[in-house]
Amino acid sequence: MTIYNERYRPQFHFSARENWLNDPNGCVFHNGEYHLFFQHNPQGGQWGNITWGHAVSPDLIHWRQLPDAIRPYDDGMIFSGSAVVDSENRSGFGRGPQGPLVAAFTHAKKPFGQAIAFSNDDGRTWQLYDNGRHVVSNQGLDDGERDPKIFWHAPTQKWIMALWVQKGRVRFFNSEDLKHWEHTGDFAGNGFFECPDLFELPVDGDPKRRKWILNDAAFNYWIGSFNGKTFVAETGPLQGNFGNNFYAAQTWNNTGNRIIQIAWMNNGQYPGMPFNQQMSIPCELTLRATPAGIRLYRMPVTEIEGLYLDNYHVLNKILIPKQDLYVQPRHDLFDITAEVEMNRDAVYSIRLYDLDITCTINQIDCLGKTARFRSLNGFVKLRILIDRTSIDLFANEGEICMSSCFLPDRKNTRLQFRADIQPVHIRSLAIHRLSSAWR
Protein backbone atom coordinates (compact mmCIF):
# COMPACT_ATOMS: atom_id res chain seq x y z
CA MET A 1 0.00 0.00 0.00
CA THR A 2 1.45 3.36 -1.08
CA ILE A 3 1.13 6.08 1.55
CA TYR A 4 -1.18 8.95 0.49
CA ASN A 5 -2.80 6.68 -2.11
CA GLU A 6 -4.64 4.30 0.23
CA ARG A 7 -8.23 3.43 -0.67
CA TYR A 8 -9.79 5.86 1.84
CA ARG A 9 -7.06 8.53 1.83
CA PRO A 10 -8.43 12.00 0.99
CA GLN A 11 -6.65 13.26 -2.13
CA PHE A 12 -7.17 17.01 -1.81
CA HIS A 13 -8.21 17.38 1.84
CA PHE A 14 -5.42 17.36 4.41
CA SER A 15 -4.92 14.27 6.56
CA ALA A 16 -1.99 13.37 8.79
CA ARG A 17 0.54 10.92 7.42
CA GLU A 18 -0.51 8.55 10.16
CA ASN A 19 -2.42 8.40 13.44
CA TRP A 20 -5.09 10.61 14.96
CA LEU A 21 -5.91 14.21 13.91
CA ASN A 22 -8.50 16.70 15.13
CA ASP A 23 -8.87 20.51 15.51
CA PRO A 24 -6.88 22.83 13.21
CA ASN A 25 -4.55 25.04 15.26
CA GLY A 26 -2.15 27.93 14.73
CA CYS A 27 -3.32 28.80 11.21
CA VAL A 28 -0.99 31.55 10.00
CA PHE A 29 0.60 32.69 6.72
CA HIS A 30 4.29 33.57 6.95
CA ASN A 31 7.17 33.89 4.51
CA GLY A 32 5.30 32.32 1.59
CA GLU A 33 3.87 29.40 3.55
CA TYR A 34 0.46 28.61 5.00
CA HIS A 35 1.04 26.91 8.34
CA LEU A 36 -1.49 24.38 9.55
CA PHE A 37 -0.95 22.98 13.03
CA PHE A 38 -3.38 20.36 14.29
CA GLN A 39 -4.28 18.26 17.27
CA HIS A 40 -2.28 15.08 16.74
CA ASN A 41 -1.61 11.82 18.54
CA PRO A 42 1.84 10.77 17.31
CA GLN A 43 1.52 7.43 19.10
CA GLY A 44 -1.74 5.97 17.79
CA GLY A 45 -4.92 6.12 15.76
CA GLN A 46 -7.24 7.28 18.55
CA TRP A 47 -7.43 10.51 20.55
CA GLY A 48 -4.71 10.90 23.20
CA ASN A 49 -1.15 12.17 23.83
CA ILE A 50 -2.26 15.39 22.15
CA THR A 51 0.55 17.30 20.46
CA TRP A 52 0.59 20.06 17.84
CA GLY A 53 1.21 18.39 14.50
CA HIS A 54 2.47 20.64 11.72
CA ALA A 55 2.13 20.97 7.94
CA VAL A 56 2.93 23.73 5.45
CA SER A 57 1.63 24.60 2.00
CA PRO A 58 2.36 27.21 -0.68
CA ASP A 59 -1.25 27.20 -1.89
CA LEU A 60 -3.61 25.67 0.74
CA ILE A 61 -3.94 22.53 -1.39
CA HIS A 62 -0.52 20.83 -1.57
CA TRP A 63 0.57 20.07 2.00
CA ARG A 64 3.88 18.82 3.39
CA GLN A 65 3.84 17.42 6.90
CA LEU A 66 6.73 18.46 9.14
CA PRO A 67 7.84 17.07 12.51
CA ASP A 68 5.47 17.73 15.41
CA ALA A 69 5.79 21.29 16.72
CA ILE A 70 4.75 21.63 20.38
CA ARG A 71 4.81 18.56 22.59
CA PRO A 72 3.22 17.78 25.96
CA TYR A 73 5.08 18.92 29.07
CA ASP A 74 4.62 18.86 32.83
CA ASP A 75 1.93 16.16 32.53
CA GLY A 76 -0.27 18.39 30.38
CA MET A 77 -1.25 17.86 26.74
CA ILE A 78 -1.17 20.65 24.15
CA PHE A 79 -4.74 21.55 23.28
CA SER A 80 -6.02 23.95 20.62
CA GLY A 81 -4.89 27.51 20.00
CA SER A 82 -3.64 29.92 17.36
CA ALA A 83 -0.53 31.65 16.02
CA VAL A 84 0.51 35.10 14.82
CA VAL A 85 3.44 36.79 13.11
CA ASP A 86 4.94 39.30 15.56
CA SER A 87 6.39 41.39 12.72
CA GLU A 88 7.44 44.29 14.96
CA ASN A 89 8.90 41.98 17.61
CA ARG A 90 6.69 43.42 20.32
CA SER A 91 7.21 40.23 22.30
CA GLY A 92 10.99 40.54 22.25
CA PHE A 93 11.27 36.92 21.06
CA GLY A 94 12.66 37.80 17.62
CA ARG A 95 16.29 37.34 16.61
CA GLY A 96 16.33 38.69 13.06
CA PRO A 97 14.81 41.20 10.63
CA GLN A 98 11.59 39.21 10.49
CA GLY A 99 9.57 38.94 13.66
CA PRO A 100 8.99 35.60 15.31
CA LEU A 101 6.00 33.33 15.04
CA VAL A 102 4.19 33.19 18.38
CA ALA A 103 1.67 30.48 19.27
CA ALA A 104 -0.89 30.53 22.09
CA PHE A 105 -2.28 27.19 23.23
CA THR A 106 -4.09 25.52 26.08
CA HIS A 107 -1.86 23.61 28.47
CA ALA A 108 -4.26 20.81 29.36
CA LYS A 109 -3.35 20.11 32.94
CA LYS A 110 -6.33 20.77 35.20
CA PRO A 111 -7.15 23.44 35.88
CA PHE A 112 -6.30 24.35 32.27
CA GLY A 113 -4.31 27.51 31.54
CA GLN A 114 -3.02 29.29 28.44
CA ALA A 115 0.65 29.30 27.50
CA ILE A 116 2.76 30.54 24.56
CA ALA A 117 5.71 29.38 22.49
CA PHE A 118 7.76 31.08 19.78
CA SER A 119 9.78 30.23 16.69
CA ASN A 120 12.51 32.08 14.79
CA ASP A 121 13.02 29.52 12.02
CA ASP A 122 9.71 29.63 10.10
CA GLY A 123 7.98 27.38 12.59
CA ARG A 124 10.41 24.47 12.28
CA THR A 125 11.36 24.53 15.96
CA TRP A 126 9.56 26.02 18.96
CA GLN A 127 10.59 27.24 22.38
CA LEU A 128 8.24 27.51 25.33
CA TYR A 129 8.08 30.94 26.95
CA ASP A 130 9.09 30.85 30.62
CA ASN A 131 9.22 27.03 30.57
CA GLY A 132 5.56 26.85 29.63
CA ARG A 133 4.23 28.96 32.52
CA HIS A 134 0.61 30.01 32.00
CA VAL A 135 0.37 33.59 30.71
CA VAL A 136 -3.41 33.48 31.28
CA SER A 137 -4.30 31.49 34.36
CA ASN A 138 -7.54 29.59 34.77
CA GLN A 139 -10.36 32.10 35.29
CA GLY A 140 -12.25 29.89 37.72
CA LEU A 141 -15.32 29.46 35.51
CA ASP A 142 -14.51 26.00 34.13
CA ASP A 143 -11.44 23.88 34.86
CA GLY A 144 -11.30 23.12 31.11
CA GLU A 145 -11.11 26.75 29.84
CA ARG A 146 -9.44 26.50 26.45
CA ASP A 147 -8.72 27.33 22.82
CA PRO A 148 -7.20 30.85 22.75
CA LYS A 149 -7.59 32.72 19.46
CA ILE A 150 -5.05 35.55 19.22
CA PHE A 151 -4.70 38.24 16.54
CA TRP A 152 -3.48 41.83 16.05
CA HIS A 153 -6.07 44.61 16.39
CA ALA A 154 -4.71 47.62 14.50
CA PRO A 155 -7.16 50.30 15.78
CA THR A 156 -6.08 49.77 19.40
CA GLN A 157 -2.52 48.63 18.61
CA LYS A 158 -2.99 45.60 20.86
CA TRP A 159 -2.93 41.86 20.62
CA ILE A 160 -6.34 40.31 21.31
CA MET A 161 -7.17 36.93 22.82
CA ALA A 162 -10.63 35.34 22.66
CA LEU A 163 -10.87 32.46 25.13
CA TRP A 164 -13.69 29.99 25.80
CA VAL A 165 -14.18 30.03 29.59
CA GLN A 166 -17.51 28.23 30.11
CA LYS A 167 -20.49 27.10 28.08
CA GLY A 168 -22.14 30.23 26.73
CA ARG A 169 -19.23 32.57 27.53
CA VAL A 170 -16.16 33.91 25.71
CA ARG A 171 -13.67 36.10 27.56
CA PHE A 172 -11.51 38.75 25.86
CA PHE A 173 -8.03 39.93 26.80
CA ASN A 174 -5.55 42.35 25.28
CA SER A 175 -1.79 42.63 25.45
CA GLU A 176 1.06 44.79 24.21
CA ASP A 177 3.68 42.04 24.19
CA LEU A 178 1.84 38.67 23.96
CA LYS A 179 3.19 37.82 27.43
CA HIS A 180 1.06 39.95 29.76
CA TRP A 181 -2.71 39.84 29.26
CA GLU A 182 -5.50 42.04 30.68
CA HIS A 183 -9.15 40.96 30.86
CA THR A 184 -11.26 43.49 28.92
CA GLY A 185 -14.74 42.00 28.57
CA ASP A 186 -16.99 38.98 28.11
CA PHE A 187 -19.54 37.85 25.54
CA ALA A 188 -22.47 35.69 26.57
CA GLY A 189 -23.75 33.67 23.61
CA ASN A 190 -26.47 31.06 24.01
CA GLY A 191 -24.83 27.62 23.84
CA PHE A 192 -21.42 28.93 22.74
CA PHE A 193 -19.01 26.00 23.14
CA GLU A 194 -15.26 25.74 22.51
CA CYS A 195 -12.87 26.99 19.82
CA PRO A 196 -13.78 30.68 19.44
CA ASP A 197 -12.77 32.51 16.28
CA LEU A 198 -13.13 36.24 15.71
CA PHE A 199 -12.51 38.14 12.47
CA GLU A 200 -13.73 41.17 10.49
CA LEU A 201 -15.17 41.33 6.96
CA PRO A 202 -16.63 44.03 4.70
CA VAL A 203 -20.31 43.70 3.73
CA ASP A 204 -20.62 43.16 -0.03
CA GLY A 205 -16.98 44.18 -0.39
CA ASP A 206 -17.58 47.71 0.90
CA PRO A 207 -14.56 48.69 3.04
CA LYS A 208 -16.63 51.39 4.79
CA ARG A 209 -19.22 48.88 5.96
CA ARG A 210 -17.53 46.25 8.06
CA LYS A 211 -18.76 43.71 10.60
CA TRP A 212 -17.15 41.30 13.04
CA ILE A 213 -17.98 37.60 13.15
CA LEU A 214 -17.58 35.44 16.27
CA ASN A 215 -18.09 31.69 15.95
CA ASP A 216 -17.81 28.59 18.13
CA ALA A 217 -16.67 25.04 17.42
CA ALA A 218 -20.02 23.95 15.95
CA PHE A 219 -19.80 26.94 13.59
CA ASN A 220 -22.66 28.79 15.17
CA TYR A 221 -21.83 32.41 14.43
CA TRP A 222 -22.78 35.88 15.59
CA ILE A 223 -22.41 39.11 13.58
CA GLY A 224 -21.71 42.38 15.38
CA SER A 225 -19.05 44.86 16.46
CA PHE A 226 -15.75 44.60 18.32
CA ASN A 227 -13.97 47.61 19.85
CA GLY A 228 -10.78 45.87 20.94
CA LYS A 229 -12.24 45.06 24.33
CA THR A 230 -15.48 43.14 23.86
CA PHE A 231 -17.86 41.87 21.20
CA VAL A 232 -21.45 43.09 20.87
CA ALA A 233 -23.77 40.90 18.80
CA GLU A 234 -26.32 42.33 16.38
CA THR A 235 -27.41 39.01 14.82
CA GLY A 236 -27.10 35.37 15.82
CA PRO A 237 -26.55 32.67 16.51
CA LEU A 238 -26.73 31.55 12.88
CA GLN A 239 -25.78 28.15 11.51
CA GLY A 240 -22.69 28.16 9.30
CA ASN A 241 -22.56 24.56 8.06
CA PHE A 242 -25.41 22.07 7.66
CA GLY A 243 -23.44 18.87 7.03
CA ASN A 244 -22.53 15.91 9.23
CA ASN A 245 -18.81 16.57 9.69
CA PHE A 246 -17.62 20.12 10.37
CA TYR A 247 -16.12 21.24 13.69
CA ALA A 248 -13.58 23.57 15.33
CA ALA A 249 -13.30 25.90 12.31
CA GLN A 250 -10.46 28.42 12.38
CA THR A 251 -9.28 31.21 10.05
CA TRP A 252 -5.72 31.98 9.05
CA ASN A 253 -3.96 35.01 10.46
CA ASN A 254 -1.81 37.32 8.30
CA THR A 255 -3.59 36.71 4.96
CA GLY A 256 -4.28 40.34 4.06
CA ASN A 257 -7.81 40.95 2.78
CA ARG A 258 -8.63 37.27 2.43
CA ILE A 259 -10.34 35.45 5.29
CA ILE A 260 -9.66 31.74 4.80
CA GLN A 261 -11.18 29.06 7.00
CA ILE A 262 -10.56 25.35 7.61
CA ALA A 263 -12.25 22.86 9.95
CA TRP A 264 -11.91 19.33 11.24
CA MET A 265 -14.30 16.96 9.46
CA ASN A 266 -15.02 15.23 12.73
CA ASN A 267 -15.87 11.56 13.18
CA GLY A 268 -15.39 10.36 9.61
CA GLN A 269 -14.72 6.63 9.18
CA TYR A 270 -11.56 5.24 7.53
CA PRO A 271 -11.42 1.46 8.10
CA GLY A 272 -8.01 -0.17 7.81
CA MET A 273 -6.17 3.11 7.22
CA PRO A 274 -2.88 4.22 8.90
CA PHE A 275 -4.47 7.63 9.60
CA ASN A 276 -7.67 8.73 11.32
CA GLN A 277 -9.69 11.90 10.50
CA GLN A 278 -9.27 14.69 7.95
CA MET A 279 -9.63 18.45 7.47
CA SER A 280 -12.23 20.27 5.38
CA ILE A 281 -11.36 22.04 2.15
CA PRO A 282 -10.09 25.58 2.88
CA CYS A 283 -12.74 28.17 2.03
CA GLU A 284 -12.74 31.93 1.55
CA LEU A 285 -15.39 33.78 3.56
CA THR A 286 -17.42 36.82 2.55
CA LEU A 287 -20.29 38.79 4.10
CA ARG A 288 -23.32 39.62 1.99
CA ALA A 289 -26.53 41.50 2.55
CA THR A 290 -29.55 39.28 1.84
CA PRO A 291 -33.32 39.78 2.24
CA ALA A 292 -32.99 37.90 5.56
CA GLY A 293 -30.13 40.11 6.77
CA ILE A 294 -26.35 39.99 6.59
CA ARG A 295 -25.03 36.44 6.18
CA LEU A 296 -21.69 34.66 5.97
CA TYR A 297 -20.88 32.95 2.66
CA ARG A 298 -18.20 30.27 2.08
CA MET A 299 -16.66 29.06 -1.16
CA PRO A 300 -13.62 26.84 -1.85
CA VAL A 301 -10.35 28.71 -2.33
CA THR A 302 -9.61 29.32 -6.01
CA GLU A 303 -6.32 27.45 -5.61
CA ILE A 304 -8.29 24.19 -6.03
CA GLU A 305 -8.32 24.96 -9.77
CA GLY A 306 -4.64 24.06 -9.87
CA LEU A 307 -5.73 20.40 -9.63
CA TYR A 308 -8.06 20.54 -12.67
CA LEU A 309 -7.47 17.93 -15.36
CA ASP A 310 -10.05 17.49 -18.12
CA ASN A 311 -13.61 18.71 -17.93
CA TYR A 312 -17.08 17.92 -19.23
CA HIS A 313 -19.59 20.65 -20.08
CA VAL A 314 -23.33 20.73 -20.72
CA LEU A 315 -25.21 23.89 -21.72
CA ASN A 316 -28.96 24.53 -22.00
CA LYS A 317 -30.19 20.97 -21.58
CA ILE A 318 -33.75 20.10 -20.56
CA LEU A 319 -33.86 17.09 -18.24
CA ILE A 320 -37.13 15.16 -18.48
CA PRO A 321 -38.27 12.64 -15.84
CA LYS A 322 -37.05 9.10 -16.68
CA GLN A 323 -34.57 10.47 -19.25
CA ASP A 324 -31.49 10.87 -17.07
CA LEU A 325 -28.09 12.26 -17.97
CA TYR A 326 -25.18 9.90 -17.25
CA VAL A 327 -21.48 10.76 -17.09
CA GLN A 328 -18.87 8.01 -16.70
CA PRO A 329 -15.59 9.84 -15.98
CA ARG A 330 -13.66 6.78 -14.71
CA HIS A 331 -12.36 8.74 -11.78
CA ASP A 332 -13.29 9.53 -8.18
CA LEU A 333 -12.24 13.18 -7.66
CA PHE A 334 -14.55 15.88 -8.97
CA ASP A 335 -15.39 19.57 -8.82
CA ILE A 336 -18.93 20.00 -10.15
CA THR A 337 -20.62 23.32 -10.87
CA ALA A 338 -24.27 23.46 -11.92
CA GLU A 339 -26.83 26.18 -12.54
CA VAL A 340 -30.34 24.78 -12.77
CA GLU A 341 -33.66 26.46 -13.52
CA MET A 342 -36.72 24.75 -12.06
CA ASN A 343 -40.29 25.41 -10.94
CA ARG A 344 -41.45 24.99 -7.36
CA ASP A 345 -42.73 21.44 -7.92
CA ALA A 346 -39.57 20.12 -9.58
CA VAL A 347 -36.90 17.97 -7.93
CA TYR A 348 -33.34 17.81 -9.28
CA SER A 349 -31.11 14.93 -8.18
CA ILE A 350 -27.45 14.07 -8.54
CA ARG A 351 -26.41 10.49 -7.80
CA LEU A 352 -22.82 9.39 -7.27
CA TYR A 353 -21.69 6.10 -5.79
CA ASP A 354 -24.76 5.16 -3.72
CA LEU A 355 -25.27 8.75 -2.59
CA ASP A 356 -28.12 11.06 -3.65
CA ILE A 357 -28.06 14.85 -3.52
CA THR A 358 -31.64 16.10 -3.94
CA CYS A 359 -32.53 19.71 -4.61
CA THR A 360 -35.76 21.70 -4.93
CA ILE A 361 -36.11 25.40 -5.57
CA ASN A 362 -35.43 26.17 -1.88
CA GLN A 363 -34.10 23.03 -0.20
CA ILE A 364 -31.20 20.60 -0.51
CA ASP A 365 -30.79 17.15 1.06
CA CYS A 366 -27.56 15.18 1.35
CA LEU A 367 -26.51 12.26 3.58
CA GLY A 368 -29.44 12.68 5.93
CA LYS A 369 -29.05 16.44 6.35
CA THR A 370 -31.37 19.15 5.05
CA ALA A 371 -30.81 22.85 4.46
CA ARG A 372 -33.28 25.46 3.25
CA PHE A 373 -32.32 28.52 1.22
CA ARG A 374 -33.90 31.24 -0.88
CA SER A 375 -34.56 30.86 -4.58
CA LEU A 376 -32.54 33.00 -6.99
CA ASN A 377 -35.34 34.02 -9.35
CA GLY A 378 -36.24 30.42 -10.12
CA PHE A 379 -32.80 28.85 -10.38
CA VAL A 380 -30.27 27.23 -8.07
CA LYS A 381 -26.47 27.34 -8.22
CA LEU A 382 -24.57 24.33 -6.87
CA ARG A 383 -20.87 23.63 -6.31
CA ILE A 384 -19.88 20.11 -5.24
CA LEU A 385 -16.38 18.88 -4.37
CA ILE A 386 -16.07 15.10 -4.18
CA ASP A 387 -13.01 13.50 -2.59
CA ARG A 388 -12.54 9.82 -1.81
CA THR A 389 -14.31 10.00 1.55
CA SER A 390 -15.98 13.41 1.68
CA ILE A 391 -18.31 15.80 -0.06
CA ASP A 392 -18.32 19.60 0.24
CA LEU A 393 -21.54 21.08 -1.08
CA PHE A 394 -22.20 24.80 -1.64
CA ALA A 395 -25.55 26.23 -2.75
CA ASN A 396 -26.17 29.72 -4.16
CA GLU A 397 -22.50 30.79 -4.14
CA GLY A 398 -21.91 29.63 -0.59
CA GLU A 399 -25.06 30.82 1.14
CA ILE A 400 -25.57 27.20 2.23
CA CYS A 401 -22.66 24.83 2.98
CA MET A 402 -22.76 21.13 3.81
CA SER A 403 -19.57 19.19 4.64
CA SER A 404 -19.90 15.45 5.19
CA CYS A 405 -17.87 12.26 5.12
CA PHE A 406 -18.97 8.98 3.55
CA LEU A 407 -17.53 5.61 2.51
CA PRO A 408 -17.73 5.17 -1.27
CA ASP A 409 -18.59 2.15 -3.34
CA ARG A 410 -15.38 1.89 -5.36
CA LYS A 411 -17.12 -0.01 -8.17
CA ASN A 412 -19.45 2.83 -9.10
CA THR A 413 -18.07 6.25 -9.97
CA ARG A 414 -20.74 7.07 -12.55
CA LEU A 415 -22.53 10.39 -12.13
CA GLN A 416 -26.26 10.50 -12.77
CA PHE A 417 -28.32 13.70 -13.15
CA ARG A 418 -32.07 13.29 -12.87
CA ALA A 419 -35.32 15.29 -13.00
CA ASP A 420 -38.18 14.09 -10.84
CA ILE A 421 -41.86 15.10 -11.15
CA GLN A 422 -41.23 18.03 -13.52
CA PRO A 423 -38.58 18.83 -16.19
CA VAL A 424 -35.65 21.00 -15.14
CA HIS A 425 -33.48 23.23 -17.28
CA ILE A 426 -29.72 22.78 -16.84
CA ARG A 427 -28.43 26.19 -17.83
CA SER A 428 -24.87 24.98 -17.33
CA LEU A 429 -23.06 21.97 -15.92
CA ALA A 430 -19.29 21.65 -15.59
CA ILE A 431 -17.57 18.55 -14.23
CA HIS A 432 -13.85 19.01 -13.58
CA ARG A 433 -11.81 15.91 -12.92
CA LEU A 434 -9.13 16.58 -10.28
CA SER A 435 -5.64 15.24 -9.83
CA SER A 436 -4.35 14.24 -6.40
CA ALA A 437 -2.66 16.95 -4.35
CA TRP A 438 -0.21 14.33 -3.04
CA ARG A 439 1.47 13.67 -6.41
Q: What is the pLDDT of residues 336-351, one digit of tens each?
A: 999 999 888 889 999 8
Catalytic residue list = 23
CATH class label, 308-434? mainly beta
User: How much is the average pLDDT of 375-398?
Assistant: 92
The CATH homologous superfamily of the domain defined by 19-300: Glycosyl hydrolase domain; family 43 (2.115.10.20)
Which one is predicted more confidently, 342 or 58? 58
| CA-CA-CA-CA dihedral for 268, 269, 270, 272, to nearest 10 | 150
Q: Please state, as a whole number, how many other Cβ atoms lie within 10 Å of the Cβ of residue 131.
A: 9
Mean pLDDT of the chain: 95
Query: What are the boundaries of each domain within the chain?
Result: 19-300, 308-434
In which band, very low, low, confident or very high, does the pLDDT at 327 lie, cut at 50, 70 and 90? confident
Distance CA 245, CA 242 (A): 9
Predicted pLDDT of residue 124: 97
pLDDT over threshold 70, residue 403: yes
User: Is 189 in a helix, a strand, or coil?
Assistant: coil
How far apart are the C-alpha atoms of 111 and 268, rounded to whole Å? 30
Best mean pLDDT range from 60-69, 326-335, 414-423: 60-69
Residue 158 pLDDT: 98
Tens-place pLDDT, residues 349-371 = 998 887 899 999 999 999 999 99
Q: How far is Cα 264 from Cα 25, in angstroms, rounded to an integer?
A: 10
What is the strand order of the sheet 77-85 is part of? 77-85, 101-108, 113-119, 127-128
- How much is the pLDDT for 1? 45
Task: Please report the pLDDT score of residue 410 as a whole number.
Answer: 67
pLDDT at residue number 411 = 63
The C-alpha angle with vertex 117 and arms to 116 and 120, in degrees rounded to 5, equals: 145
Closest CA to 215 of 192, 184, 233: 192
pLDDT confidence of residue 378: 82
How far is the C-alpha of 361 from the C-alpha of 348, rounded, in Å?
9
Task: Provide mean pLDDT across the span 131-135.
Answer: 97
Higher pLDDT, 362 or 16: 16
The mean pLDDT value for 178-188 works out to 98
Query: Are 22 and 36 in contact, with CB atoms under 8 Å apart?
Result: no
